[in-house]
Amino acid sequence: MTSVYQYDHCIVTYLCKGDKLNNDYLNMIRLAGYAMLQEQLPYSLNFKYTNCTDSDKLKWEISSLQKNPRIAGAIAWSWNAGIKEASSMATLNQIPLMISGPSNDEVLGPAVYASSGRLSSWILAHSYFLSQCSWKRVIILSDKTPYSKLFIEAISKHINTRINHKNEIVTPDTIQNAFYNIKYCDARIILINAECEIAHKIIYSAEDYGLTPKQGYVWISRDWCVSNITESIKNMWHYTIGFSWRGGYVPMSSSKNFTKGIEKIHGNSTVSAGITYLVDALLQLGHGFAMYRREFPENQYDLHGYETASNFSRSLSSIKIQGVAQIMNIKNYSLENPRVFIDKWQGNKHKTTAVWEIRDSTVVELWSHSNYKDKCGVILDAECVSDGKRCLTFTTGDPFTPRCNDIAVTLFTLSMLLVALALMWTRRILKRWQHNRRLELVVTIFENNQRRTSPLIDFMVDRKSIRILHEIGTGCSGRVYFAELTQGSSTYVVAAKEPRDKTSDVNDFLREAYVLARLEHSNVIKLMGVCLTNGPPIVLMEHALNLDLQRYLIERRQAVISTRQGKIVIDDIEELSDKSLTRWAAEAASAVEYLANLKFVHRDIRAANCLIDRMHSLKLADFGMAREVDEEESIYSTKRRSLVPVFWVAPEGLDKGVFTSASDVWSLGVLLLEITTLGLRPYGNWSTDKVIHHVLNGGKPPLPPDISIQTQNVLQQCWYKNPDQRITASKICEYFKNHPQAISPALLAPVPSFLDPPVHPSS
């Protein structure tokens, strides 16, 4: 770690290793340090280079600051791949963290601040820009970086619903294909959501493909870095919409000393976006910490102690600071009323066409450069253009590239009526044919499974109604994507699953859909649709915001331990209260009871296969191994035991490949142990062979010594070797509903024992 100034307290700035602008950033750190020194705010301004593409590196850097009592706070870029994990670590260790650049709303909170503005406010500015020109179609060219994915997710959440957007992933090798697709879609408004290197290549190549503004195309870039490229692009210009002052026009409430100093150091009139972000973050952290020291002098030697973050937040919110381009005040962990600069670029040259401000989720226009009368012309500093394909009548197909059905309305009324009737009749025949075609396709593929196939017909959807956004996971049966499903006027966020490769058995892949199509329960994941036409099969399921239960518990386990030890107090620790854990146990038991009543066995019940939705309710998922049992014997038997999850399987499943509702109860017991230990692996680090030997010889999963008597009692009744002696899922559900705080976190390591503890009678 290198220091620019040496004083009692220290501010650490994390720069990206290999960033070509790092020398400029170091000069800005010196400028901000000098300015704070003039205001009698002496700090050691340290900087450190870190790998911004590593999702874990920044987290451990922030964690290491806890050991240094001189640390006043830290600054990191919003586009650092590890910013989410680092924010959680900053909150845990009570270290103020300023995020430079438009920040993900979800990571903000006590100790974590958006010093430049929120990502949602940034998207609002883009939405306003498009609406001023009456544009409703925009194609987005995105790279594969984490920040670009975050930007797309924010657009899906916050952009005006009347604006239809299409996202296309680009790499340096696929830019040409993207250009062809732009022309094919007749897209005229293009937003580049990519890092500078790809953005430069796109802009400097577009003219060769006839995609210039003079030919009716408007280019908007998420950011634009000054480059050393000297190629002439006389016919090519584009726009940026950002929170950063880039040089030139100085708006009201700006610091003349800072703007002149920045331009003098920078050497030209074009300033990199990160410059303003970094200087403003340093000023906010420096002044905020100074106010904190004045209001809480007793804490100056214990900067990371109890309630440091909340006290610092109050101090920071109470002051207003002169920033580079505006007066800054932090409210609700974010810069209040951030300024938005609309810049028009031609290569490295730019001019500011308008300045806005975000106030209470509303865009307020402060200044404009152009004399155009219409609002679109003002912000473009050019004539407004069309956004592409428009229809006089109605459209069908993909909303972004609709099929227009324009009809020359020059016939007499009778002729128009006949044409309308003909169209209605044709559409009816087409829909009937499509319905019959889907049915025929399903029956053809699964002609020997008619009873199971028929429920899927009601879930068939057209491939054009599905929009795949990005991958969120990979399993043994396929890849899972974050996607959108459009049905009529409604759009749903879904999880889309595709086979891993073309050779996958379609029957096996769709087995989970067969099962889910027949299930409807509040604690079972919901089937949203199935697509079998024009490509590989896709199964659409309900999307759970908080992902799987195992990850959810593990991510919060350390916070619970720290809270138990009195080191920290976290507001949302209520998520893992006794009441919440017990409710999840009851919900899991309710789902297993429901399956038992319908004569299904799940065979893969564990925390990794339980999802937590937006309302923090548990949803049993992953029905790829689920089977319907014999009506009379209620048993499913298999000789294929190589893929069973050994750590969760009952003795009869390991020994003979026999699965019943009672074997699901054994697995449910192991799931309850995972909930109790907040996600610890059952059997610890035991090998698979050791677990099999242990269970087949009458053993059970080891229990932690601090497990509650109530939980221990339920688990022992789940793990009788004789399936007939095991408690039912119905009784487990009833017990936890009657004892809503029965499960408490057990944080000690499980202790293996050759003698199982006694079973206490249920109360």
pLDDT digits (tens, 9 = 90+) for 99-128: 999 999 999 998 999 999 999 999 999 999
**Residue 459 · residue 529 · CB < 8 Å:** yes
What pLDDT is recorded for position 315? 92
At residue 60, what are phi and psi to the nearest 5 degrees?
-75, -30
Both 557 and 538 in one domain: the answer is no
For the chain, the domain total comes to 4
The string of pLDDT tens digits covering residues 565-621 is 776 665 556 678 999 999 999 999 999 999 999 999 999 999 999 999 989 999 999
**Do 411 and 303 share a structural domain?**
no
Q: Are residues 135 and 68 in the same domain?
A: no
- What CATH number is given to the structural domain containing 522? 3.30.200.20
pLDDT above 80 (res 436):
no
pTM above 0.85, yes or no: no
* Confidence at residue 409, expressed as pLDDT on a 0 to 100 scale: 42
Which position has the higher pLDDT, 665 or 628?
Answer: 665
Long-range contacts of 152-156 (CB under 8 A, 24+ apart): 152/193, 152/469, 152/470, 153/469, 153/482, 154/104, 154/105, 154/119, 154/120, 154/122, 154/123, 155/123, 155/126, 156/469, 156/484, 156/493
244: Cα within 13 Å, side-chain hemisphere: 21
Evaluate whether residue 45 is within a structural domain: yes
Is 395 within the bounds of a domain?
A: no
14 domain residue, yes or no: yes
Same domain, 142 and 18: no
pLDDT per position as a tens digit, 174-212: 999 999 999 988 899 999 999 999 999 999 899 889 999
Q: Give the residue numbers marked as catalytic.
A: 604
Cα 163 to chain center, whole Å?
21
- Can you tell me the mean pLDDT for 341-357? 91
Asked if residue 744 is part of any domain, the answer here is no
Q: Which of 543, 570, 593 is the last residue of a domain?
A: 543
Residues 536, 200: Cα–Cα separation, whole Å: 35
**Which pLDDT does position 759 carry in this prediction?**
42
Report percent pLDDT > 90 for the chain.
55
Would the pLDDT of 443 be above 60? no
pLDDT of residue 507: 76
Q: What is the pLDDT of residue 408?
A: 46
- Residues 703-721: pLDDT tens digits? 999 999 999 999 999 999 9
In Å, the largest CA–CA distance within the chain is 93
Does one domain contain both 168 and 27?
A: no
pLDDT of residue 111: 93
Displacement of CA 540 from its chain's centroid (Å): 18
Instruction: Tell me: pLDDT of 376 over 70.
Output: yes
The CATH number of the domain holding residue 29 is: 3.40.50.2300
Q: Do residue 21 and residue 53 come from a single domain?
A: yes
* pLDDT of 590: 97
d(CA 416, CA 398) in angstroms, rounded, equals 27
For residue 475, is it within any domain?
yes
Same domain, 414 and 471: yes
CATH number at residue 579: 1.10.510.10
Same domain, 439 and 524: yes
Cα–Cα nearest to 618, from 574, 588, 650: 588
CB 620 within 8 A of CB 586: no
Are residues 265 and 412 located together in one domain of the fold? no
- Asked if the structure places residue 163 within a domain, the reply is yes
Q: Are 540 and 529 in contact (CB under 8 A)?
A: yes
> Residues in the chain, how many?
763
pLDDT at 606: 96
* Strand arrangement, sheet containing 137-142: 164-169, 137-142, 189-193, 218-221, 238-242, 339-346, 349-359, 362-368
| Radius of gyration of the CA atoms of the chain, in A | 30
**Which pLDDT band holds residue 447 (cuts at 50, 70, 90)?**
low
> What is the residue-averaged pLDDT of the chain?
86
760 pLDDT more than 60:
no
Q: Are residues 327 and 358 in the same domain?
A: no
| 753 found inside a domain | no
pLDDT of residue 569: 62
Which residues sit in the known binding site?
Answer: 497
pLDDT at residue 746 above 80?
yes
Decide which of 758 and 85 is more confident. Answer: 85
Average pLDDT of the segment spanning 73-101: 95
- Closest alpha carbon to 138 in 120, 155, 115, 157: 155
Question: Taking residues 297-301, what's their average pLDDT?
Answer: 78
Instruction: Look at residues 690, 681, 682, 648 and name the one whose alpha carbon lies nearest to residue 665.
Output: 648
Which residues form the domain of 173? 119-242+342-380
pLDDT tens digits for 450-466? Answer: 555 567 888 999 999 99
Residue 391 placed within a domain: no
Residues 364 and 414 in one domain: no
Show Cβ contacts of residue 246 under 8 Å, excluding neighbours closer than 6 positions.
Answer: 240, 270, 271, 272, 273, 276, 341, 343, 350, 352
- Binding site for ATP, by residue number, is 497
**Tokens at residue 609, please?**
């296969």
Q: Are residues 461 and 604 in the same domain?
A: no
- 754 pLDDT exceeds 50? no
pLDDT digits (tens, 9 = 90+) for 470-491: 988 876 667 899 999 999 889 9
Measured distance CA(66)–CA(90) in Å, rounded: 9
pLDDT in tens, 44-60: 889 999 999 999 999 99
